[in-house]
Structure 1
Amino acid sequence: MRQDWKKQTALCVATLAALSAGAAQAQQGDPLYRYQWHLMNYGQAVIGDTRPVSGIDIGIDDLHDYNIRGKGVIVGVLDRGIEIAHPDIAANMVPNGSWNFINQTHDTTPTNGQAHGMAVGGIIGAVGWNGIGVRGVAPSARLKSFNFLDAGGSNDQVRYAWWDGALAKDQDVSNNSWGPGFPIFLPTISENELAAWENPMSATRGGRGVVYVKAAGNSFSYVGGSSFRNGENLCAANRPAVGCSQSIFARESNFFNVITVAAVNAAGRRSSYSTPGASIWVSGLGGEYGWERATLAAQQTTPEDQAALARLSAVNFDPAIMTTDLSGCALGYNTNQVRPATTWSHDNVNRLESDQSAIDNTCNYAATMNGTSAASPTVSGVVALMLQANPKLSFRDVKYILATTARQIDPQQAPVVDAAGNVLAAGWTVNAAGRPFSAWYGFGLADATMAVTRATGFKSLGTLLDSGWQRAALAQAQPIGNTAAPARATIRIAGGAARIEGVQIGFDTSAPARNAYPYVATTVRITLISPSGTRAIVLPPGSLPVNDGGTLSASLASVNAFLDEPGNGDWTLEVADTALAAGAAANANLSSFKIRVLGR
């Protein structure tokens, strides 16, 4: 036993030494690489007051050393603009390949100081081994910028950047770190309109389909401008594992072509803000906030400031993502702050910030990027690596590989049950095909090395089988009782997919959904049950669905928990009001249910 312990200790020491040596070698080419825990995490000190947990990274490992760097892959960044001439990203920008929706030029450099797109672009494709700054997940991928958020953000602009625009025709991946503002309405889209989006998306890349990667949202613990940083949780204070919002509330996150991404922090758990939901596919790394108490404390001058600092949540001081910022110290995230009196939040928040930083005094980089906005580009970068390894992969192939190679993190995430025994959040579940799924993490944290390994020589999934929209034949509306007497509607699918890749549903109820302040959490739980008996919560009680019509109804919701199960058989939608006491009369009805099953 003692000899085994000594051997294990020696192996650990040797492994840590090798990791440190590798990190030091990489750092020679990119001085700030050591702070990019999302790329290589051996538990090193980074920006923030806590250390990342060793091994919680995107799984790059030796891929970059083997020249798997995204070469030959074009990633479109639909966001705020990217600074085209930024010294750590210019070499990877496609010349005249970007589009400024404001002035119809190829230069998307922001003039409004907004650095969100710059940060996203750097996470994907900051140039590697150039002697400055940081490195992207795919440091040899080529980038295009579409600044629709700076231009107001319209559906026409999305269509341009996704497939319709001349400059979008040659992209392989589209990163979308954006979503709807609050209030978030339950999706309303006709079947014809859905087809008008999904069909041209599938036709891109010569019929293989651009890989669309999208942020799930940052509304787990707040609504509107009321942030969890102030200790508030307006929608689910007594249900902390449910989340204010759900990923299905964002229309595009339910498209079959879209990979919806949740965020994980440096401890290997859900980032505090990350929106959960049935449409989550995989997780990327978004971190927390990257502040440092010592840096802030040195700037406090009043008791009010010091008291405000003391009240800050611990997650503010956990690591965020290090990436590119707008050049110079006047604009972007990292600036020389001019601090108004008693406004401590305008201070420099960590050691990297300002031209006085001993780490890097250019202000060209930021260590406070976070959100599913940061997690999504980590996944887009992984996809670029996969497509370098195998350019023939379809978007369905990419989705499937990501799901089946993802790492199951936070395995102890358990169901959340209220005092009455009602399941509010399911935690990790395993479907009938043996696929683990969580509404927090999807199929798990994307793993670049595993995904690239699987992508190499991957046999295509082949022809897509689509059941089309099928409807339940309800002779009359079904009363929504408590969990012991829920409303149920069943649809039988025949002649469809033997192995599921995606499920979309729609439903109508007369249960109330708020359409104005004050926001009130729903007490209704909606569950989809597969022919194999797998149960997936589509809408948990405790979240804040909003609907113009005032009822809990949606024409589109994607439910991903059934991957690889057989699609044929009876599908049942179950709707229960968890607030109803036993024997209490129902006060709402389920009036319709439809489903579409896709697979092979």
Structure 2
Amino acid sequence: MEASNLPSELFYIPLLYRPWYLEECPSSIATTYSSADFRQPAIVTVDVPSGCTDKHTGTSASAPLAAGIIALALEANPELTWRDMQHLVLRTANWKPLENNPGWSRNGVGRMVSNKFGYGLMDGGALVNMAKTWKTVPEQHICTYEYRLASPNPRPIVGRFQLNFTLDVNGCESGTPVLYLEHVQVHATVRYLKRGDLKLTLFSPAGTRSVLLPPRPQDYNANGFHKWPFLSVQQWGEDPRGTWLLMVESVTTNPAASVSY
């Protein structure tokens, strides 16, 4: 078929912006294509009981794309571990098609990262090519540090506030320090009248800022968080040694709202 006879919608080039259902999170490594609303193109795929559809949407469309790319990488190199795959996805992700979205920043080793899209769009060709020659990473090493809150503990606070907690990281209880970060977890216990008014932001020694918990206006839970693990991959590749800062703040408009941590 000649190009002039093709339907005009086949030449529609969508703007690559966040979908309305996206949740921001610093644990996201990368993203794939999805859809926004019924007026915009969706994912074309096979359908049941037969034929194809051009209306496949949401995370139900994007997750299989990621799984298919990962399957191709495993076919190219069956020795890949789950951490190898995360390295490959992260190192080959392309942020440029999504650069018009606000919120991109450069982490401590120079990689562009976003709370919306991780390190960018998954690139199947680049990922498979890198997988062919990839050498399995060494065994994962984990260091744990505990922040001890001075008395009073728990500490009650009312109304709007901002508190900073710092932790110096220079070694490891096992004697072997982590020199190259992959995953960072913060386990936090906080009680608050309206959990959605809390915001947690982590700053690494290299200056990388990760919003571990953004405000959520519709979250009215009053139980808070109990030893909740907040995960970030935005410091990937950084040297963790130095001073870390966790900023806990409230965006409440209720002066009587109370918190304890």
Task: Indicate whether the TM-score tops 0.5.
Answer: yes
- Using the alignment, how far apart are the partners of 2:98 and 2:217 within structure 1? 22
Letter of the 2:231 partner, please give it: S
SS of alignment partner, residue 268 of structure 1: coil
Shift of 1:478: 7.1
1:510 CA drift (Å): 2.5
Q: How does 1:200-219 map to 2 (within 5 A)?
A: none
Cα 1:472/1:589, change in 2 over 3 Å: farther
2:136 corresponds to: 460
2:201 matches 1:527: yes
Match of residue 271, structure 1, among 14, 19, 27: 19
Residues 190-201 of structure 1: pairs in structure 2 closer than 5 A: none
- Alignment partners' CA distance in 1, 2:32 and 2:186: 26
Shift of 1:490: 2.7
Which residue of structure 2 aligns with residue 509 of structure 1? 190
Q: How does 1:194-593 map to 2 (within 5 A)?
A: 266-288=14-36, 315-327=37-49, 363-408=50-95, 409-414=97-102, 427-468=103-144, 470-475=145-150, 476=152, 477=155, 479=157, 482=160, 486-493=162-169, 494-495=171-172, 496-513=177-194, 522-545=196-219, 547=221, 550-553=223-226, 555-579=228-252, 587-589=257-259, 591=261
- What is the Cα-based RMSD across aligned positions, in Å? 2.8
SS at match of 1:399: helix
- How far off is 1:452 after superposition? 1.2
Given that residues 17 and 101 in structure 2 are in contact (C-alpha distance below 8 angstroms), is that contact kept between their aligned partners in structure 1? Answer: no
| Conservation of the 8 A alpha-carbon contact between 2:204 and 2:245 | yes
* Equivalent residue letter for 2:146: R
Cα deviation code 1:333-357 (max 9, x no counterpart): xxxxxxxxxxxxxxxxxxxxxxxxx
Deviations 1:38-72 (A, max 9, x none): xxxxxx734xxxx542xxxxxxxxxxxxxxxxxxx
Question: Secondary structure of 1:275's partner?
Answer: coil
Structure 1: which 5+ residue stretches go unaligned?
1-16, 21-33, 36-43, 54-265, 289-314, 328-362, 415-426, 515-521, 592-600
Distance in 2 (alpha carbons) for counterparts of 1:52 and 1:554? 47
**What secondary structure does 1:404 align onto?**
helix
Structure 1 residue 399, shift from structure 2 partner: 0.5
What's the offset of the Cα at 1:590? 5.1
More strand by share: 2
Shift of 1:411: 1.1
Separation in structure 2 between the aligned mates of residue 458 and residue 403 of structure 1, nearest angstrom: 13
* Structure 1 counterpart of 2:9, one-letter code: A
Give the structure-2-normalised TM-score: 0.83
Given residue 207 of structure 2, which amino acid in structure 1 is its aligned partner?
G
**Distance in 1 between residues matched to 2:251 and 2:69, nearest whole Å:** 41
Residue type of the alignment partner of 1:376: A
* Cα contact 2:159–2:252 (8 A) shared by 1: no
Q: Structure 1 pair 404/479, CA: closer, same or farther in 2 (3 Å)?
A: farther
- The AA in structure 1 aligned to 2:242 is G
**How far apart, CA to CA, are the structure 1 residues paired with 2:24 and 2:59?**
11
Contact 2:32/2:66, CA 8 A, preserved across alignment: yes
User: Which residue of structure 2 lines up, in the alignment, with residue 90 of structure 1?
Assistant: none
Query: How does the TM-score come out when normalised to structure 1?
Result: 0.38
Matches within 5 A, 1:138-153: none
Change over 3 Å in CA distance of 1:586–1:450 after alignment to 2: farther
3-state secondary structure, aligned to 2:248 = strand
Residue 536 of structure 1 aligns to a residue whose secondary structure is strand
Structure 2, gaps ≥5 residues long: none
Larger RCO of the pair (alpha carbons < 8 Å, separation 6+): 2
CA distance in 2, matches of 1:489, 1:589: 16
Contact 1:325 1:364 (C-alpha < 8 Å) held by counterparts: yes
* Partner Cα separation in structure 1 for residue 162 and residue 24 of structure 2: 24
Q: 1:272 to 1:589 in 2, by over 3 A?
A: closer
Number of aligned positions between the proteins: 249
Q: Following the alignment from structure 1 to structure 2, what is the Cα–Cα distance between the partners of residues 528 and 480?
A: 22
CA distance in structure 2 between the partners assigned to 1:586 and 1:492 by the alignment: 34
How far does residue 546 in structure 1 lie from its aligned partner after superposition?
5.7
